[in-house]
Each structure stands twice: as structure tokens, then as C-alpha cells.
């Protein structure tokens, strides 16, 4: 009986977990689709910003004496496989290669791993789980990066993020974001009397930084939710297989209990028959020829 109760509780737990994993899978599929749909427009707008930067003729100096900054983009949620582990390892390799500068991290989960590698985070940002949460994050991150860059806290900025390669597949990539790589247009813009050249450069760099980060975060979110889709599907299959095994064990336990009950009934019946035979051997057998054994039935007459 105890084993049957244990199997019932286990089956109920597996069903509850299956419902939770299925809900998480559906939610990840929704966010994954949103990210993939928003990427083409973001890339097209970023291409236009690059053309504008080339037309303006943006050039930024590189100071070798100022350290290099790193921006790591990871996940705050679980059930996405080795997503964070691979990105943290790429950040550690880039940190050792590029130098020890300020480190910014979008996501709080890898703090312990980065601290173990001797990397101190300057700023930590919360990771949005959907496309709707990206604008608020980008405004904060882009402003902090531009302030530190203009104050010469860092001379370069590299972004370590995930590049989407299919559902359940990604590769860590390192992208240089600042300074903006100089590009020259065949038809540069003529100076305008309405705005100074420095203002145009600052606006173009800010817009380029914002849109490039937006595209990188979209790609990272798509990679994260793609990994979560794969992990959720694997977890759901394991839960289904375990639930089937538990159902078979529960059915077997019920059959064993039923068989034991039948055996107990048969054993009790045999015991009762044995007791009845023993009592009949001690009693005097009935003989109809013996008159003292036949009792007269009184008859009433009117």
C-alpha cells in the first residue's frame, strides 16, 4: 500500500512538472518568434545608420593607454542548457586577451563564475525576457557606455553575445562596438549650417550604438529561447517516459495487491473449511433410522 501511494504521488508530481515545462515551452516559442520577426527590420535600420555614418565621415581616435571594456550578454533564466557557461568562457578568454578594463554584464547569473576568474563587474543589468523589454534596457546601457567612453574610462568596447544558428544551436561571438570603424562614402554629405559636425557625429554614434546593441540583443534572445525550446522538449520527453514507467509500475503494484487479496481470501476459505471438517468429526452423525434423533412435530386440531 505504501508503494502504491508513493507511485501515485510521483505520477502526480510528474504531471505537474509536465504542465509547467509545456507552458514554458509555449512561452519560449512565442518570444522566439517575436525575436526572429523583429530582426530583419533591425538589421535594415542598422545598415542605413552605417550608411549615414559613412556619409558624415565619422572617425574616432583609439587610445592604446586606456583599457578595453567588455559587455557580456547572458541569460537570467534557467532551462537553456550550457548557454551561460559557453558565453562566460568566451568572456574570460576575451578578458585575458584584450586587457583588464571595465566589465558590464546584462544578466546576473554568471556573477560567481566571473568572480572566480578574477573579473569584477562594474555594472549589472537585468535581462528582459521579451522584445517589449529591450528599449528600456537599451536606453540605460547605451547611455552608460557612452558616458564611460567619453570620459576615457575605456578606449574600446567589445560585446560577447550569442549568434543564432538555429533552434537549439548558437555560437559565442565577440563584436567590437566602439570606436566606430571609419567608413567613407562615395558621396559624403556637405556641411550644414543648421547643426555642427560634432553634434551630427554624436547623434550618429549614439544611434549606431543603440541599434547595434538592439540587433545583438535580439539575436541573443533568439538564441536563448531556441536553447530553452530544445531543453524544454528534452525535459518533456523525459517526463513522458518517466510517467509511462510510473504508470506501469503502479498497474503492476495494483495487480500484486489484488493477487495478494485473492490469496488471502482463498487461504481464509481453506482455513474455514478445515475448521468445519474438524468439528463434524467430533459430532455424532445423523441417522434417520434412530427414532430418538427424529423429533415429533406437534399438530394442532380444531
Write down all domains in the chain, each with its CATH number in brackets: 2-239 (3.40.1380.10)
Phi, psi (deg, nearest 5) at residue 100: -95, 95
Phi, psi (deg, nearest 5) at residue 175: -120, 130
Q: Is pLDDT at 300 greater than 80 in this prediction?
A: no
What is the SS3 assignment for 56? helix
Q: Is pLDDT at 247 greater than 50 in this prediction?
A: yes
Report how far residue 226's alpha carbon sits from residue 232's, in angstroms, rounded to the nearest whole number.
10
Using CA atoms, how far residue 268 sits from 215, 257, 262, 273, 280, in Å, is: 78, 16, 10, 9, 19
Q: What pLDDT is attached to residue 73?
A: 94
Q: What pLDDT is attached to residue 302?
A: 47
Q: What pLDDT is attached to residue 72?
A: 94
Reference 224, options 83, 125, 42; nearest CA is 83
Q: What pLDDT is attached to residue 218?
A: 92
Confidence of residue 294 (pLDDT cuts 50, 70, 90): very low
Confidence of residue 284 (pLDDT cuts 50, 70, 90): low
Predicted confidence (pLDDT) per residue in 98-127, tens digit? 767 899 999 888 888 888 888 888 999 998
The beta strand positions in 118-246, using DSSP E, are 123-125, 156-166, 169-178
Contact yes or no for 74/107 (Cβ under 8 A): yes
Report how far residue 105's alpha carbon sits from residue 87's, in angstroms, rounded to the nearest whole number.
11
- More confidently predicted of 129 and 172: 172
Predicted confidence (pLDDT) per residue in 181-197, tens digit? 766 655 666 666 666 66
Contact yes or no for 103/72 (Cβ under 8 A): yes
Sign of CA dihedral 52, 153, 177, 183: positive
Report how far residue 153's alpha carbon sits from residue 147's, in angstroms, rounded to the nearest whole number.
9
Mean predicted lDDT score pLDDT of the chain: 82
Kindly give the pairing relationship between strand 156-166 and strand 68-73: parallel
Confidence of residue 13 (pLDDT cuts 50, 70, 90): very high
Average pLDDT over residues 140-168: 89
Count of helix runs (H) and strand runs (E) in the chain:
5, 5
Helix (H) or strand (E) holding 51: helix 2-56
- More confidently predicted of 25 and 257: 25
Average pLDDT over residues 22-48: 89
Amino acid at each position: 500500500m505504501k508503494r502504491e501511494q508513493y507511485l501515485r504521488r510521483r505520477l502526480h508530481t510528474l504531471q505537474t512538472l509536465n504542465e509547467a515545462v509545456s507552458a514554458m515551452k509555449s512561452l519560449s516559442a512565442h518570444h522566439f518568434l517575436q525575436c526572429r520577426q523583429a530582426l530583419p527590420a533591425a538589421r535594415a535600420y542598422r545598415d542605413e545608420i552605417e550608411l549615414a555614418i559613412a556619409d558624415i565621415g565619422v572617425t574616432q581616435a583609439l587610445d592604446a593607454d586606456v583599457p578595453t571594456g567588455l559587455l557580456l550578454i547572458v541569460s537570467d533564466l534557467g532551462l537553456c542548457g550550457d548557454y551561460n557557461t559557453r558565453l562566460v568562457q568566451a568572456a574570460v578568454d576575451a578578458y585575458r586577451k584584450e586587457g583588464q578594463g571595465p566589465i558590464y554584464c546584462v544578466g546576473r547569473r554568471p556573477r560567481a563564475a566571473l568572480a572566480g576568474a578574477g573579473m569584477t563587474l562594474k555594472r549589472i543589468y537585468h535581462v528582459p525576457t521579451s522584445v517589449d523589454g529591450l528599449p528600456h534596457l537599451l536606453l540605460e546601457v547605451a547611455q552608460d557606455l557612452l558616458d564611460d567612453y567619453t570620459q576615457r574610462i575605456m578606449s574600446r568596447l567589445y560585446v560577447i553575445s550569442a549568434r543564432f544558428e538555429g533552434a537549439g544551436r548558437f555560437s559565442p561571438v565577440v563584436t567590437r562596438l566602439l570606436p566606430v570603424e571609419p567608413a567613407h562614402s562615395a558621396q559624403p554629405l556637405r556641411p550644414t549650417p543648421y547643426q555642427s559636425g560634432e553634434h551630427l557625429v554624436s547623434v550618429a554614434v549614439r544611434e549606431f550604438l543603440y541599434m547595434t546593441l538592439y540587433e545583438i540583443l535580439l539575436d541573443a534572445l533568439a538564441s536563448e529561447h531556441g536553447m530553452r525550446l530544445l531543453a524544454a522538449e528534452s525535459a518533456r520527453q523525459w517526463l513522458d517516459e518517466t510517467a509511462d514507467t510510473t504508470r506501469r509500475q503502479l498497474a503492476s503494484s495494483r495487480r500484486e495487491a489484488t493477487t495478494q487479496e485473492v490469496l488471502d481470501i482463498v487461504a481464509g476459505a481453506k482455513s474455514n473449511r478445515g475448521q468445519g471438517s474438524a468439528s463434524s468429526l467430533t459430532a455424532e452423525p445423523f441417522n434417520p433410522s434412530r427414532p430418538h434423533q427424529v423429533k415429533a412435530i406437534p399438530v394442532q386440531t380444531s
